[in-house]
Chains A and B, each alone.
Chain A
Amino acid sequence: MAGPKMAQDMQSYMDALADMNNEAVEYVRGVPVVKTFGQTVHSFKRFKAAIDNYYKYCLGYCQKCRPSMLFYTVCINSAFAFLIVLALILAVGEPVGQPLLLNFIFYVIFTPIIATAMSKVMYMSENGMIVADALQRIHSILDVEPLPEPVQGQTATDNSIELKNVTFSYPSAEQPALQNVSICVQAGQTIALVGPSGGGKTTVAGLISRFWDVDSGVIRIGGVDVKNIAKSTLADMVSFVFQDSRLLKASILDNVRLSRPEASRQEVEQALHNAQCDDIIAKLPEGIDTVIGAQGAHSAYLSGGEQQRISIARVMLKYAPILILDEATAFADPENEALVQKAFEKLACGKTVIMIAHRLTTIQKADCIYVLQEGQVAESGRHNELLALGGIYAKMWNDYQTAISWKVGENND
């Protein structure tokens, strides 16, 4: 049960196990969908295949081990045979003396101890292989290098953002996600990024907060390359609102405070008020101490738009001068949208804002609109300028308007 061949087998066993675990996650996540369509687990083929694969693998492994395992068991249990044969050879035909008898009894008692020790060695080596494999998996994470930190962090002078000839591709991708993109945002301006899915909008936002480093070109915040700004400083300057903001299973107070743990209760209340959350707080049994998403009497569930407003309050509390909104209104229902919009207006006041938007009505007032297509800036300018240009944006705007009138038409029927 030891040796390099077995170590390899052990690794594929671990792979099969990990694979099954991953499929289990997918399965559990997908259960609502499976349920909705009334399918059985057997149609959930991938998960079943992973289970079967693991099972088959285990069977094969067992079968492979069987001869050696049997041989081993019989061997360690056959010590008695050697003892008897040897004793007989020594003693046959003669009267048995006391020394021989004594020795024989000693060995009869002693050999099982050796067998036990042998078993221990075997199990140790098996555990050793498991540990080695687990360590390798741990190292595969530990060995990932974090982005280099500047030795001496520089401070940005203002809140302007500049991307100059930025090219970037994701580590595993062949095509660059961004190619030669240049975007300039003055401090306090609001710009919008629009364009088809996969055009690189979210990549731009991610690069500004340095989720990754650019391949070539430079990104400056307040005239300083983001690579030279300390990570914590950058985190304080830039705040992000995602389309599906996550709230933790904690009280609203703690959720909002996440962005600035030392904030006082009054500050949190003020932020919640500014983020138009008064109606949410009013309907909760324990006010801002209500735990979100937990079971029990003092808890509540919030809709997507409500969660969004709470997370806006969280961002407000942070006072970050640069704000990135990644399709932040996409999840809000119509009743919430107006409130979310109002909350955003308060939040954006006096800040540099980068908006990524699908709903084009929300970005008409932007100081500059960049249309990103296939990783490049296809058009840029104000709403009216782009409409006059009659390019991609004008087409998108027309489609969008048509879509709205369709909806209205349906309502009139």
Chain B
Amino acid sequence: MKTMTDKLTLSLMKRFALSREGAKGLLQATAACTLADLALMLPVGLLYLLVSDFLGGAVYGKRCLFYGVAIAGALLLVLLTEFCKYNATYFSTYRESGACRIRLAEKLRRLPLSFFGKKDLAGWRGVL
């Protein structure tokens, strides 16, 4: 399992020009988004249950308690997963974009001087 995540991280780093931290962040964000979307399916399940209850005839007091607890639980789960998703996407995106710019600037510095004669300076600015 560990080696698989490592491999995945490496391939992501290559494909999207990310730092190791950024690739890990991307994996985390993917997981967080998946969880959040799964959590959003809970309400649908509850609605489904209720409709099937209604089709079965009537709903009685005991069942209401179950729905009350289930609703509260579902909302809490949605809140929790959305919180994780928000942190994993927005924060790590900006952290990565900052790190990426610094890396690019470092790379530019290491290139031979002749490289700068070849291309318009305005082009570099745009990239950064």
- Interface of A with B (CB < 8 Å)? 21, 24-25, 27-29, 31-32, 34-35, 39-41, 44, 47-48, 51-52, 54-55, 58-59, 62, 66, 69-70, 73-74, 77-78, 80-81, 83-85, 87-88, 91-96, 100-101, 104-105, 108, 295, 301
Question: Is the beta-carbon distance between B71 and A62 smaller than 8 angstroms?
Answer: no
Question: Is the beta-carbon distance between A70 and B108 smaller than 8 angstroms?
Answer: no
With both beta carbons as reference points, the residue of chain B lying nearest to A74 in the complex is identified as B79
Q: A35-B113, A84-B46, A87-B50 are in contact. Are A51 and B83 (CB under 8 A)?
A: no
Contact pick for A92, options B44, B47, B64, B78, CB 8 Å: B64
Q: A51-B101, A66-B86, A101-B54 are in contact. Are A80 and B47 (CB under 8 A)?
A: yes
Stretch of B2-10, B15-23, B117-125 contacting A (4+ beta carbons < 8 Å) = B117-125
Task: Give A380 to B100 CA distance when docked, in angstroms.
Answer: 59
Ordered by A's residue number, 9 sampled pairs between the chains whose C-beta atoms are within 8 Å are A25-B121, A28-B121, A54-B98, A62-B86, A70-B86, A77-B40, A83-B47, A96-B58, A104-B54
Contacts of B83 in A (CB 8 A): 66, 70
With both beta carbons as reference points, the residue of chain B lying nearest to A36 in the complex is identified as B113
Contacts of A62 in B (CB 8 A): 86, 90-91, 94
Contact pick for A93, options B43, B61, B78, B124, CB 8 Å: B61
- Not counting A32-B113, A55-B94, a sample of 15 additional A-B residue pairs whose C-beta atoms are within 8 angstroms of each other reads A25-B121, A29-B121, A44-B105, A47-B105, A70-B86, A74-B82, A77-B40, A84-B47, A85-B67, A88-B67, A96-B55, A104-B51, A104-B54, A108-B51, A301-B117
Contact pick for B67, options A21, A44, A84, A108, CB 8 Å: A84
Q: A59-B91, A66-B86 are in contact. Are A41 and B98 (CB under 8 A)?
A: no
Q: Which of B41-61 contact A (CB under 8 A)?
A: 43-44, 46-47, 50-51, 54-55, 57-61
Chain A's nearest CB lies how many Å from the CB of B2? 30
Contacts of B128 in A (CB 8 A): 24, 27-28
Chain B's nearest CB lies how many Å from the CB of A297? 14
Task: Give A74 to B61 CA distance when docked, in angstroms.
Answer: 27
Task: Give A55 to B93 CA distance when docked, in angstroms.
Answer: 10
Most B Cβ at <10 Å: residue of A44, A52, A80, A101: A80
Contacts of A40 in B (CB 8 A): 106, 109
Q: Does B31 contact A (CB under 8 A)?
A: no
Question: Is the beta-carbon distance between A81 and B43 smaller than 8 angstroms?
Answer: yes
Contact pick for A28, options B106, B108, B117, CB 8 Å: B108
Question: Is the beta-carbon distance between A70 and B64 smaller than 8 angstroms?
Answer: no
With both beta carbons as reference points, the residue of chain B lying nearest to A94 in the complex is identified as B58
Contacts of A93 in B (CB 8 A): 58-61
Contacts of A51 in B (CB 8 A): 98, 101-102
